[in-house]
Amino acid sequence: MDSNVFSLDYKLVKKSNHIINARQNFSLMQQRIILLMCSRIGENDQEFKWTRIPIQEIAGKTRLNGSDYEKVKRAAMELVECNIELRTGDGGWQKLPFLTTRGHDRKGIVEAKFVEDAKPFLLGLKERYTAYFLKNVYQLKNVHSLRLYELMAQYFPKIKERRFSLEDFKDLLYIRNCYPKYSAFKKHVLEKAVSEINATSDLFVTYEERREKRQVLEIIFSIRANGDRALTSATASATVSATPTAPKTEPVTEDVPHEVVDSVPVAPTLFDSVEEKIPEPEETKEPIRQEAQPPYEDINFCSEATFKKLTSRYDEDLVRLAIRAIAERPDIVNPTGYLIKSLSEGYFNDRMEQEKKVAREKIKRLEETRRIEELKRIKDRIPEEYDLFRKTMLAKYREKATDDDLAEYLFEIEDHDDMVVRRIHDDFLSGNEPSSLSKSHFGVWLVKRYGTQKDMEMLDVKNYAMHRYGIDY
């Protein structure tokens, strides 16, 4: 069994935002192949490798029939011919082949490999990417639900609202020419996708329609954490990403500061001065399948009753791991008995702990990378931000200044040793509008003369950075 295959809870999918914002015409099974391959990419991988994926994982079943094998085979073969369409700088689209496959063999394995042109979008991603746990999308049964989830997770939790024109949104789902009637699109695509995401993932999505003359022009999505299903480290990495060619209708919400990164549209910052609390969503009915959900729809050597009994005794992730490992062992004569024995004697305990440890370390590195990148972005924007803050503060003091204040100020600086200061003195007496430098100098004098302790401290950019962001600058 591939050592990278472990509990869905710890399998991370990481994609460039160029892919998230691309047009994709993949089936659900093809998307599963792509996601399973993405989850096997190592953080330090520099080259793509041939990846072996059990057909059971792609089909979502352990017990397969001829029809299942045929569907997976067809999906894998057709995937070679599929392209994604990336946005270009001139507003157009560029096709990119995505992967190649070697079909599937009698052992129930699909071999696939991403093409070299996909490297910039999947390997060594340090910025402008979206990451989430595979667990959050693996239970989705509709390809549109998966696409909507990625778009909603992209900048969450710092961006909790996304706007799309109806035309752009259908374009991203690759159904521009489908469902000409909005009512049909809403019923068969939008409602189903939102309902499925809310029932199975860590996000809770609602939406509103903006209409003009009874015609829907825009869909406004609101996103929040989905109660106990929310995994803070899963979608939080989405906020690492700057926005590469984001849809033109992307909003700038009042409570989230934005910035320009890499000469692209605005992106959220992780360091908001106002701490936000995520409201709990309304209680939704849990699907029955979550009470005792087998790892796949059918299990050929472990009945649902056996699975339920085992998960009442052992950690469910451990049971799933054992089932997957045993499913690929044709040498085991009695897999059910071996499953029971392996769990009771702890055959897979060390492996489970090791894989959880690796996953935790990976998440920790991801969080640290995000923190460092965000700190750099904050420091890069402080000069411009502080300049505006300082000008605003000094202007407020000048507005309150009297003629007597100006007279005292000019009296103090008329014999100043600094030639620049003496020129400022002459500038005020010239009869013309004083320069920005002269106004600023007078404003600083006013702050020192009348200002609060805090305002005087804010005359130093280092104090501003510490007060505003809690960082040394």
CA distances from 153 to 84, 205, 239 (A): 20, 10, 9
Q: What is the mean pLDDT of residues 196-213?
A: 91
Q: What is the mean pLDDT of residues 183-209?
A: 92
- What lies within 8 Å, CB to CB, of 60 at 6+ separation is 32, 138, 296, 297
Instruction: Give the Cα separation of 348 and 344 in Å (integer).
Output: 10
Q: How confident is residue 278, by pLDDT bands cut at 50, 70 and 90?
A: very low
Give the DSSP letter of residue 188: I
Asked whether residue 273 carries a pLDDT value surpassing 80, the answer given is no
CA nearest to 269, candidates 250, 290, 288, 241: 241
3-class SS string, 277-297: CCCCCCCCCCCHHHCCCCCCC
Asked whether residue 331 carries a pLDDT value surpassing 90, the answer given is no
Does the domain made of 1-119 have the CATH classification 3.40.50.300?
no
| pLDDT score for 10 | 59
Asked whether residue 288 carries a pLDDT value surpassing 50, the answer given is no
Asked whether residue 264 carries a pLDDT value surpassing 90, the answer given is no
**pTM exceeding 0.95:** no
| pLDDT score for 178 | 85
- The CB-based long-range contact list for 440-444 (8 Å cut-off, 24+ gap) reads 440/390, 440/391, 440/394, 442/398, 442/401, 442/406, 442/409, 443/393, 443/394, 443/395, 443/397, 443/398, 444/394
Give per-residue pLDDT as tens, 84-132: 888 877 777 888 888 887 755 556 788 889 998 889 999 988 888 999 8
| pLDDT score for 159 | 86
What is the domain partition of the chain in residue ranges? Answer: 1-119, 126-285, 288-347, 380-469
Same fold yes or no, 1-119 and 126-285: yes
Across 58-62, 228-232, 408-412, which has the greatest mean pLDDT? 408-412
**Residue 340 CA from chain centroid, whole number:** 39
Tokens 């000019």 label which residue?
Answer: 410
* Widest CA span in the chain: 101
CA distances from 287 to 38, 199, 200 (A): 28, 7, 8
Instruction: Give the Cα separation of 103 and 164 in Å (integer).
Output: 38
| pLDDT score for 300 | 65
Q: Which amino acid is at 36?
A: L
Count the Cβ atoms, other than its own, within 10 Å of residue 455: 16
Q: What is the mean pLDDT of residues 133-159?
A: 90
126-285 CATH fold: Arc Repressor Mutant, subunit A (1.10.10)
Give per-residue pLDDT as tens, 148-192: 999 999 988 888 899 999 999 998 998 888 888 899 899 999 999
Instruction: Give the Cα separation of 411 and 229 in Å (integer).
Output: 68
- Backbone angle region of 91, left / alpha / beta, with phi > 0 → left and psi within -120 to 50 → alpha: left
Give per-residue pLDDT as tens, 400-457: 999 999 999 999 999 999 999 999 999 999 989 999 999 999 999 999 999 999 999 9
Count Cβ neighbours within 10 Å for each residue of 29-48 and write b for 16 or more, e otherwise: bbbbbbbbbbbbbeeeeeeb
Instruction: Give the Cα separation of 52 and 60 in Å (integer).
Output: 16
| pLDDT score for 38 | 92
Tokens 């979608």 label which residue?
Answer: 235
Instruction: Give the Cα separation of 10 and 150 in Å (integer).
Output: 18
Tokens 């939080």 label which residue?
Answer: 236
List, edge to edge, every strand of the sheet that includes 215-225: 161-165, 215-225, 203-212
Q: How confident is residue 230, by pLDDT bands cut at 50, 70 and 90?
A: low
Q: Please, are residues 237 and 202 in contact by the beta-carbon 8 Å criterion?
A: no
Asked whether residue 1 carries a pLDDT value surpassing 70, the answer given is no
Instruction: Give the Cα separation of 179 and 171 in Å (integer).
Output: 12
- What lies within 8 Å, CB to CB, of 389 at 6+ separation is 458, 464
Lowest mean pLDDT among 59-73, 98-112, 166-180, 282-296: 282-296
Show the tokens assigned to 288: 């029955």
Q: How confident is residue 229, by pLDDT bands cut at 50, 70 and 90?
A: low
Asked whether residue 364 carries a pLDDT value surpassing 50, the answer given is yes
Lowest mean pLDDT among 38-47, 260-269, 437-446: 260-269
Show the tokens assigned to 130: 């979206």
| pLDDT score for 327 | 80
| pLDDT score for 403 | 93
- What lies within 8 Å, CB to CB, of 425 at 6+ separation is 410, 413, 414, 416
